């Protein structure tokens, strides 16, 4: 007779860090506790910065012990914190599986904007983006997304004290395409905006997308945060080259969907931010500006021009100052509020599009780019000889 030996399997503990209010309530119900415990624990973690169950003093000792058995508050590890001379702070955060993502804090007077990553790398491969060139590993969990806010806020001593906040705004403009990680991004955004957590207003949390239209169509059911669209071109032919997902969801479809999102919000006067990365001799001509002005005529927008930030794997060049001013002037004269995003944190590689982290690439794209670069260098060398 074969003796079956029972192997005691230890059930995985639930990580409470990324649970939205409703998921936290469901968790407490599932362990036979009252739903209102969710509010208490959310407050301890995200408002007071306390992650040791023993310090949660409004929870009985019995329940604290029970929590220690079935739950944990688990963080990714901060590998590096870099401070720029201009006050920009970058965190390199190691996530499970060996990769690392980047989070950037950008102070600007009273405002402090945290640029948060949503995926490890990105699968969409826009031609001008360093993250895209790194390939893709996986979605970040809701815990890994909200951890970036917690870590930044904690580093400024902002948690658990009543005083002016450092992190006043959050933009999902770091590594990854947030709408391809819908559920986790929406959960993390709900924590950013929750009164018992970070309490950041809906006008100060912005999701930026390159245009995953089916997901954008659903977004309004889950959040009322601000929306930014990475447009970068005034027509489909050019946008297909720069933002390949445009071949699937072309500009007209994308703008329609964005318009529906903004128009269903209860408060009027909300505007979509149009991001337009200006690349020398690619999308920076006056004709492009005129075409853009025409394209956006019926869409409630403000426009943010981003001078392209060069990085080693790209041949593109930064727009010239003349072309940038000309482009901005045409848009302003056409009636659009048009700002230019200044480059920040240059000395610590924290500027837009430079976030590369360390992606354990599963797409082999990074390898392909490395090969291409080597071939180009070889060709240049031969021609040079």
Which position among 306, 323, 350, 359 is part of the footprint of ligand SAH (CB under 6 A)? Answer: 306
Tell me: does residue 246 bind ligand SAH (CB under 6 A).
no
**From CA 310, how far away is CA 354, in angstroms rounded?**
8
Which position among 17, 78, 114, 129 is part of the footprint of ligand SAH (CB under 6 A)? Answer: 129
**From CA 179, how far away is CA 248, in angstroms rounded?**
15
Tokens of 91: 């965190």
Residue 66 CB, nearest distance to ligand SAH (Å)? 40
**Active-site residue flag, 102:** yes
**From CA 385, how far away is CA 382, in angstroms rounded?**
5
CB atoms closer than 10 angstroms to residue 193: 19
Which position among 14, 210, 314, 338 is part of the footprint of ligand SF4 (CB under 6 A)? Answer: 210
Name the segment binding ligand SF4 (CB under 6 A); options: 123-131, 278-286, 332-340, 342-350.
123-131
Tokens of 176: 């990854």
**From CA 357, how far away is CA 118, in angstroms rounded?**
12
The sign of the torsion formed by the CA atoms of 136, 351, 126, 368 equals negative
Tell me: does residue 177 bind ligand SF4 (CB under 6 A).
yes
Strands 111-115 and 169-172: parallel
Q: Contacts with ligand SF4 in 218-237 (CB under 6 A)?
A: 230
Residue 345 CB, nearest distance to ligand SAH (Å)? 13
Tokens of 331: 């848009």
Residue 140 CB, nearest distance to ligand SF4 (Å)? 13
Contact between 185 and 207 (Cβ < 8 Å): yes
**Active-site residue flag, 352:** yes
Longest Cα pair distance anywhere in the chain, in angstroms? 88
Which position among 18, 107, 112, 132 is part of the footprint of ligand SF4 (CB under 6 A)? Answer: 132
Residue 309 CB, nearest distance to ligand SAH (Å)? 4
**Which one of ligand SAH, ligand SF4, none interacts with residue 306, CB within 5 to 8 A by kind?**
ligand SAH
Q: Is 115 annotated as a binding residue?
A: no
Tokens of 216: 């954008």
**Which one of ligand SF4, ligand SAH, none interacts with residue 223, CB within 5 to 8 A by kind?**
none
Q: Which residues are annotated as a binding site for S-adenosyl-L-methionine?
A: 176-177, 208, 230-232, 309
Residues carrying an active site annotation = 102, 352
């Amino acid at each position: 007779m074969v003796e079956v030996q029972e192997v005691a399997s230890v059930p995985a503990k639930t990580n409470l860090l990324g649970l939205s209010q409703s998921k936290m309530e469901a968790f407490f119900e599932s362990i036979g506790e009252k739903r209102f415990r969710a509010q208490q624990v959310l407050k301890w973690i995200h408002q007071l910065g306390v992650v040791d169950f023993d310090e949660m003093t409004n929870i009985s000792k019995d329940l604290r012990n029970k929590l220690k058995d079935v739950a944990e508050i688990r963080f990714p590890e901060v590998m590096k914190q870099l401070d720029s001379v201009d006050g920009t702070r970058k965190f390199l955060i190691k996530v499970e599986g060996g990769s690392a993502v980047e989070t950037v804090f950008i102070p600007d007077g009273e405002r402090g904007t945290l640029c948060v990553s949503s995926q490890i790398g990105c699968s969409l491969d826009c031609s001008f983006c360093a993250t895209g060139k790194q390939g893709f590993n996986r979605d970040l969990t809701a815990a890994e997304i909200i951890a970036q806010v917690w870590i930044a806020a904690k580093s400024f001593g902002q948690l658990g004290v009543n005083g002016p906040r450092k992190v006043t705004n959050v933009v999902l403009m770091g590594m990854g395409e947030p709408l391809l990680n819908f559920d986790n991004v929406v959960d993390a955004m709900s924590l950013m905006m929750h009164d018992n957590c970070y309490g950041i207003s809906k006008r100060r949390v912005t999701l930026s997308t390159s245009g995953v239209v089916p997901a954008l169509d659903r977004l309004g059911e889950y959040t009322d945060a601000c929306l930014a669209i990475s447009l970068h071109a005034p027509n489909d032919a050019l946008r297909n080259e720069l933002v390949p997902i445009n071949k699937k969801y072309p500009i007209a479809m994308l703008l329609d969907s964005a318009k529906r999102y903004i128009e269903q919000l209860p408060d009027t006067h909300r505007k979509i931010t149009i991001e337009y990365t200006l690349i020398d001799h690619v999308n920076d001509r006056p004709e492009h500006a005129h075409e853009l002005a025409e394209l956006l005529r019926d869409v409630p927008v403000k426009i943010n021009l981003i001078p392209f930030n060069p990085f080693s794997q790209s041949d593109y060049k930064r727009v010239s100052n003349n072309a940038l001013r000309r482009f901005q002037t045409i848009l302003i004269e056409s009636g659009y509020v048009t700002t230019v995003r200044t480059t920040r944190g240059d000395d610590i590689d924290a500027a837009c599009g430079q976030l590369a982290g360390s992606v354990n690439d599963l797409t082999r794209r990074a390898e392909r780019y490395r090969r291409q670069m080597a071939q180009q260098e070889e060709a240049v060398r031969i021609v040079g000889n």
